[in-house]
Structure 1
Amino acid sequence: MMVLISYDVSTTSSAGRTRLRKVAKECQNHAQRVQNSVFEADLDYSSFLKLKDRLLKLIDPEQDSLRFYYLGNNWEKRVEHVGAKKTYNPEGVIIV
């Protein structure tokens, strides 16, 4: 299933900047960055729940926010891209 993850982490303190780096790194490990604080994750439900749990443990809910948009398996009909930044095919070939 495709999930769009966005976050806003307060960076007014060094602890906030550390949280921001950790949240970004966790997202990069499991999803594709499509904007500065926006990631697309094409994961099975179990993997998504693990990622969500890790992210919830990293943020400070008093200062930060996370948003999860559940696009499901038919996500291609729900996403429209316009602009210079090239898109990618999450179901395509990945070269490591």
Structure 2
Amino acid sequence: MMVVISYDVSTETADGKKRLRKVAKACESHAQRVQNSVFEADLDYSSFMKLKGELLKIMNKDTDSMRFYYLGNHWQRKVEHFGIKKGYNPEGTIIV
């Protein structure tokens, strides 16, 4: 299932800057960055729930925000992209 994850972490304190790095690192390990604070994750349900739990433990609910947009398995019909940074196909070939 495709999920879009977006976040806004307050970086007014040293702890906030540390949380921002942790959130970004967690997302980078499971998802593709498509904007500065926006990731697309094509994961099975249990992998997504694990990532979501990890992210919710990192964030400070009083100063940060996080959104999860569930696009499902037929996400290609729901996403339009314009401009630079061509989109990617998470189901396609990945070259490492």
Q: What is the TM-score with the length of structure 2 in the denominator? A: 0.98
* Count of residue correspondences: 96
Specify the alignment match of 2:68 in structure 1.
Answer: 68
Partner of 1:67, secondary structure, is strand
Alignment of 1:1-96 (within 5 A): 1-96=1-96
- The 10-residue stretch of structure 1 (5-14 or 84-93) with the greater mean CA deviation from structure 2: 84-93
**Matching residue's letter, 2:54:** R
**Matching residue's letter, 2:33:** R
* Counterpart-to-counterpart distance in 2, 1:57 and 1:73: 27
Unaligned runs of 5+ in 1: none
Unaligned runs of 5+ in 2: none
* Counterpart-to-counterpart distance in 1, 2:77 and 2:15: 39
Following superposition, which runs of at least 4 residues in structure 1 exceed 3 angstroms of deviation?
A: none
Partner of 2:29, secondary structure, is helix
Partner of 1:50, secondary structure, is helix
Q: What displacement does 1:45 show?
A: 0.3
**Matching residue's letter, 1:37:** S
Task: Indicate the percent of aligned positions where both proteins have the same amino acid.
Answer: 71
Q: What displacement does 1:32 show?
A: 0.2
